[in-house]
Amino acid sequence: MSNAIRVFVVDDHTLFRKGLVSLLSELEDIQVVGEASTGEEAIEIVMGIESDLILMDINMPGMSGIETLGVLRQQGVENPVLMLTISEHQEDLVEAICAGASGYLLKNTEPEILQQTIKQVIAGKSVLSPEITEQVFEMVRSRKIGVEKKLTEREIQMLHLLSSGSKTSQLAEQMSISENTVKTHIRNIFEKLEVSSRAEAVAKAVRLKLI
């Protein structure tokens, strides 16, 4: 099968890894092209072979799956990496995503779902286990996540004055600071709100109910 998905498996638990490899090998459209029991081993092998997707455990002795992913990305490996772990920790999830993971599945996932997820990831999609999605919802609700970085007090003041039409010289006077500082604050606002003009900044701030 020339168009089978070539999967590489990284997990320190031999029993789990072997079982997973056996399971995946039975599938028509998936081909296991290699396996490793540590991050160090994974890096060495992956750099030398061709593969389409990496299944990576997180908790491993030595390098963690996240550190391993970081090194692989640094070495130019662009393959999608699907984390397959027992960890529901927020920290692991956040770090895995930041390190460049394409998905985050728990090990209690049903084989069919895993198969389905592998195909979705190959298709360029991002996937999370339902439990992890729930975790994300919780993070959002507890405001640990926001749509934008939090603005500081001075930045909010700046936006208020900006929205009432003040220009740089007036802002400087009203806030008792130099014009240079005004501009710096505004630049920081631009970055946080992901905009590039004063008008946009005010519009977005109003929309986000920041002012």
Binding flag, residue 145, its own copies (CB under 8 A): yes
Cα torsion angle, 195, 197, 202, 206, sign? negative
Q: Which of 94, 181, 203, 211 binds DNA (CB under 7 A)?
A: 181
When the beta carbons of 139 and 195 are compared against DNA, the nearer one is: 195
What residues numbered 88-107 form the site for its own copies, per CB under 8 A? 88-91, 94, 97-98
Distance CA 51, CA 97 (A): 21
Whose CA is closest to 205, among 155, 144, 171, 135? 155
Binding flag, residue 153, DNA (CB under 7 A): yes
When the beta carbons of 89 and 187 are compared against its own copies, the nearer one is: 89
Distance CA 47, CA 15 (A): 25
3-state secondary structure 136-166: HHHHHHCCCCCCCCCCCHHHHHHHHHHHCCC
Site of interaction with DNA (CB under 7 A): 150, 152-155, 167-169, 175, 177-178, 180-181, 183-187, 190, 196-199
Site of interaction with its own copies (CB under 8 A): 88-91, 94, 97-98, 120, 125-128, 130-131, 133-137, 139-150, 156, 207-211
